[in-house]
Amino acid sequence: MLVVRLGLGMLRRKMPQRNNTKRREEYAKNKEEINRKRRARNNTEEFKYKKRLSEKIYRDKNKEKISEYNKSFSRKVRERCKELVFNHYGRKCECCGENHIEFLTIDHMNGNGRKHRKEINNKLYPWLIKNNYPEEFKTLCLNCNFGRYKNNGICPHKL
């Protein structure tokens, strides 16, 4: 066994190298038996309890890290959904021609947007993908979309 100095007087024992090829050969010979035992062990209530407990301890220790990862992952999913939707409906406003993706949004042509968003829990882009891009939607910029809302369905550019 090797002892490694970590600094500030701390020592850590380093485990000797194992013969991985020998372990791999042993696993290949007894793969079915090893996996059967592993599945049996993993199905016990004691193992499940210990696993839940260790996961809870990890989550409690790493709340910020997990939260940041979840935010990052959610952001990537939202961006990917938005890309798919605008690739289908078009990447420019049908009224004024604005093409910056940050300013674009999806418009309900028949004007029932608030009611529809409430029904689908405000998750429009995933809903559009799941429902195979229905035809009653179009791409507008935020200004045109809001202008249509305020002017009873007529965009201020058309007045």
The burial of 126, by beta-carbon neighbours within 10 Å (0-12 exposed, 13-18 middle, 19 or more buried), is given as middle
Residue showing tokens 């993993």: 42
Specify the pLDDT at position 129: 92
- Token digits of residue 151: 């002017």
Q: Is the pLDDT of residue 3 over 70?
A: no
Average pLDDT estimate for 10-26: 70
Q: Are 95 and 144 in contact (CB under 8 A)?
A: yes
Q: Is the pLDDT of residue 107 over 60?
A: yes
pLDDT band at 30 (very low <50, low <70, confident <90, very high): very high
User: Mean pLDDT, the chain, as a whole number?
Assistant: 85
Specify the pLDDT at position 1: 44
Specify the pLDDT at position 12: 54
6 vs 94: which has the higher pLDDT = 94
Q: Is the pLDDT of residue 34 over 50?
A: yes
- Token digits of residue 141: 């910029």
